[in-house]
Amino acid sequence: MVRFLGNRLISAALIMFLASVLIFVLVASSGDPLFELRERQPPVPESAIQAEEARLGLDQNLLQRYLGWIGGIFTGDFGPSVIITRDIGAELATRIGVTLRLVVVAIAIAFILAFIIGTVSALYRRRLPDFVLTPVTFLFLAMPSFWLAVLLKHWAVATNEATGYKIFATVGANSVPPPQGFFAIVADTAAHLVLPTIVLALMHVAVWNRYQRTAVTESLSSDHLRFGVLKGLSRRRLVRHYAVRPALVPIVTIVALDLPLLLSGAIVTETVFQWRGMGDFLLESIQLRDVNAVLAWLLIAAGAVIIFNLIADLLYAVIDPRVRYDR
Amino acid sequence: MTVELDVVSQDEGPRPNGSRFAAARRRFLANRMAVAALVTLAVLIAIGLIAPQLWTYGYGEITDDLNHSPSLAHPMGTDAIGRDLFAQVLRGLQQSLLIAFTVTGVSTVIGLTIGVVSGYFGRWVDSALMRLVDLVLTLPTLAVAAFLGANVRAGGVSWLTLSLVLGALMWTPLARLVRGVVLGLRELPFIDAARVMGASHGRTLLRHLVPNVTDHVIIAATLTFGAAILTETSLSFLGFGVQPPDTSLGLLVSTAQSALITRPWLFYFPGLLILLLVLIVNYLGDGLRDAFNPRNEVVNPLIDPPGLRRRRKAERQARAGRKTNAQRGAQGANEAQPKQASSPQPEQASSPDSGADDDAGSARAAGTGGAPAGDTATGVSSTRDPVATVRDLTISFGDRPAVDGINLDLQPGEVLALVGESGSGKTLTSMSLVGLLPPGATTTGRVNVLGQDVDGWTFEDWRTLRGRRIAAVLQDPSTSLNPVLTIGTQCADTLAEAGLTGPKARERTIELLEAVAIREPERLLDQYPHQLSGGMRQRVVIALAMANDPDIIIADEPTTALDVTVQAQVMHTLRQARERTNAAMLFITHDLALVAGIADRVAVMQQGRVVEVADVHSIFSNPKDEYTRRLLDLAPRLAVAEEEAR
């Protein structure tokens, strides 16, 4: 177990290093962060451009720039922004908090729903519940998330107008200015969470429940379930411990591996609901050609993928006794 | 020439030949949903190619009709500056299809190449390429594509650049899939054969491996296609994909956001088209998957056959009307739990589950069985009431009978061996005694178990017998135990069915495990099945089968999956366990050598029929049927050796 963990950690560190190189080369070699400055009319003096180049380190070669950048990361410095007053690290910290709030709630809801829907449609495969659930799942699988988000937002606004009350919060992660008092703030935050969470959760329920359906279907046709039936066990026990329990292994692994994708999903959701989270940070930085900010974002995304891969491996070992003892 | 071709195709194993794809096509065409999806996709592609040329307005053309709702002139209405939405949607459709096809093409080429090379060469090539896959997976597609798209100078990103970027990021799932398949194929002899016959690596890859992964590639391509459409439209929605003055479905939805209340058509038409496109591609992929890997009928042993519950309810109501005749209603009724039955063994009385002996019931059952007593031709004897009888049992799938009108009796305490080659219907016959026939099987004839006619039994009816009065040992012990529960838990849940829990159950478990020659059974309780050897697992299975002192044991090839060295020990354990409980046993095997050591009588099956039933000595000394003689010739010495050892 320790050796297995050690091997995985070393390989994860290697991939993280390679990813940082790849990201850096990709970003540094495509596009010019000072493009706007150079094209500005009337022309900016050459000396100003050179000073800006020196500040951003663009006068060094690629290797020096990489070493300077990665060295800074270890000390918590994400490098200078094209906007002098912007502190990339500090801004990311607040943005991550906003996005995590959205993502964590969405994951929890999506996992529970996917688990229930997948299990039910496997247990009642090709019968009424499955005939309803499967097409609905397919529909959400094919639905563009931005379209669903805009539609929900529209309905929410229409409901608010029709009733005259502010039932749904459709803009931002919190009201501006924020309400007074702890409970008011919690209620306000929760109200703002509802719509984006629904969008993000539904998109992942659509994918995950299919895996759960397949896994439970497989356990239902397995020999160990047949043997359980032959032992005379009750339906309840068979479903819980012989069909669903072995199916936990695939669903948990897939969810863990898919989690970093939620970050991408958050880009679209945050845009529609005007949250100032990670997704918004990325789009803003791209528009500003803020190379170091984009680098920081991509590095965090890569780190999330690698860490969740590790977590998936560990969860696998916890849930599946075969892995736990074999390694 | 034809002969040669035949030989080649046999040697080369799973090469895709015409018939495999023909079968897939037949199954695909039978799937209405998939065909509808394919037709719709074809229609949409045709519209995307042809309609823009025929349509009155161009996608950038500004007309005088501002903000028109859908009408004959503008089927999808117009936007705020008078552009015809239908023309714009057609352009968006074109863009989406063009980009999706290119992305799919690019990612398929990369994924297929890397997957095949990785799987074929293995070792360092494989691990290097798989690290590359891990690496590419760390790049979030949407973010990278948005960044690269934004850095293209003036005029925005071209559809080709966009496609290439997406294609370069979306090949990883296919590469992993193909690698897995090729790793499996590489072990097959036809690859070695090709290499030995002098095929180069390139030729082996192209001619022998690539064709074998075609079906996987086609299915994966549909998934990529759908994902590509969603990614492209999302990017365009965010403003980093297709740029104005050109248009795309995502861009149309984006600009329609603010107009949803006043001009909803601008929002719904492009959005619903994306939905439709991805939906049909997904259904197409689903249909292709089912066509290439036909799934068996849905297996769910927890569910009663459709219509059964209604029929049973009607029966119960009818029976309530003539309650005075309750004794006759013993036939599987819920209120009269089908426990009372034959089995005059004294052991039975001590079993926590057994009711009072009810000879009348079983006598009646035997009578309704309609078997003429003493029918030696079918091995029926009238000495005692049999624990199970099978009369004229036919089990068929479609119009092909797999079991064809057989008759069998299982006497109390006897071991009846059911012998025959695979596919002869042995297992089906035995499963009809526990109500676990595969879905799609239709049966006629009568099956009588422990004095009760099991016709139309529900899951709950069967539960009254399963595990308590009738137990089974399945072929492969590595799959018949639940992999995620400990041995102790699996023993406990069996005993709990008979009302034994707590320390008493633990005692009984240890007693059972000791009885199947397991040393230090306490140690085993906290272990998982995978920690045991095959022989140990099968002993645990036997112990579980014996847990509630059954009257009937069905042992379906219980040693086939084991090492030869372990086989003899497990057979010995099984024989002992049976003698201890004095249960009747139906022992199924294709191996006559095993029969001699354990059986009292032998029934030989061939192609769904019982060709010969005789006691074990006559079978070996004086086989009547030609087929029995042929079976005997296959394993004569072992059989004789066993015989002598007895």
Residue B197: its pLDDT value, please? 80
CA-to-CA dists, residue B8 to A316, B13, B164, B205, angstroms:
43, 9, 40, 18
Q: Which value, to the nearest 10 degrees, does the dihedral of the CA atoms of residues B304, B307, B313, B315 take?
A: -110
Query: What pLDDT, in 10s, does the model give residues B314-323?
Result: 766 776 665 5
Mutate to test the interface with A, among B32, B161, B302 (most CBs of A within 10 A): B302
User: Which of chain B's residues have a Cβ under 8 Å away from the Cβ of A240?
Assistant: none
CA distance A3 to chain B (A): 19
pLDDT digits (tens, 9 = 90+) for B439-482: 778 888 888 888 888 888 888 888 888 888 898 888 888 888 98
Name the nearest CA neighbour of B99 among B225, B238, B278, B269: B225
Angle of helix B534-546 versus helix B502-515 axis, rounded to 10? 120
Amino acid A17: pLDDT:
93
Give the pLDDT confidence score for residue A113 in this predicted structure. 94
Contact A233 B139 (CB under 8 A): no
Average pLDDT over residues B494-515: 85
Q: Is the pLDDT of residue B77 over 50?
A: yes
Residues 290-319 in B contacting A (C-alpha not used; CB under 8 Å): 296, 298-303
A154 vs B237, B260, B472: nearest CB: B260
Q: Are B434 and B466 in contact (CB under 8 A)?
A: yes
The string of pLDDT tens digits covering residues A89-130 is: 888 888 988 888 888 899 999 999 999 999 999 998 888 888
Q: Which runs of consecutive H residues, i.e. helices, occur in B151-263?
A: 159-169, 172-186, 189-196, 201-203, 214-238, 249-256
Q: What is the pLDDT of residue B331?
A: 43
Cβ contacts of A232 within 8 Å, gap of 6 or more: B463, B465, B466, B467, B468, B494, B497, B548
Distance CA B48, CA B51 (A): 6
Chain B CB within 8 Å of residue A131 CB: no
pLDDT score of B347 more than 50: no
State the nearest Cα–Cα gap between B377 and chain A, in angstroms.
32
Where do the H-state alpha helices sit in chain A?
A: 2-29, 35-39, 46-56, 62-74, 88-123, 128-142, 145-163, 182-220, 223-230, 235-237, 245-258, 261-273, 278-288, 291-319, 321-326
CB contact under 8 A, B143 and A237: no
Question: A244-295, pLDDT tens digit by residue?
Answer: 988 888 888 888 888 887 887 888 999 899 888 898 999 998 888 888 889 9
Interchain CB contact of A25 with B (< 8 Å): no
Phi and psi for A258 in degrees, rounded to 5?
A: -85, -15
What's the whole-number mean pLDDT along residues B168-184? 88
ipTM: 0.89
From B318's Cα to the closest Cα of chain A, the distance in A is 27
Which amino acid is residue B416, in one-letter code? Answer: L
pLDDT at residue B484, rounded to an integer: 87
Mean pLDDT of chain B: 79
pLDDT tier, B345 (very low <50, low <70, confident <90, very high otherwise):
very low
CB contact under 8 A, B146 and A147: no
Q: What is the pLDDT of residues A173-197, one digit of tens each?
A: 777 777 788 888 888 888 888 899 9
Q: What is the pLDDT of residue B375?
A: 40
The whole-number pLDDT of residue B306 equals 65
Token pair listed for B404: 């064809």
Residue among B148, B482, B542 with most chain A CBs within 10 A, to mutate: B482
- Ranges A71-80, B350-359, B374-383: which has the least confidence: B350-359
Residue B380 has what pLDDT? 47
Whether B552 has its CB under 8 Å from any CB of chain A: the answer is no
User: Positive or negative CA dihedral for A153, A155, A156, A158?
Assistant: positive
Q: To 10 degrees, what angle do helices A88-123 and A291-319 make?
A: 40
Residues found in chain B:
646
The pLDDT score that the predictor gives to residue B359 is: 39
Place of tokens 């052991």: B347
d(CA B372, CA A81): 97
Looking at mean pLDDT, say which of B60-64, B293-297, B485-489 comes out highest.
B485-489
A-B C-beta contacts closer than 8 Å: 220
Helix (H) or strand (E) run with residue B515 in it: helix B502-515
Q: Is the peptide bond before A250 cis (omega within 30 degrees of 0)?
A: no
Average pLDDT score over residue span B513-542: 86
Angle at B381 between CA B378 and CA B384, to 5 degrees: 145
Contact list in B for residue A204 (CB cut-off 8 A) is none
Q: B142–A298: do the CB atoms touch at under 8 Å?
A: no
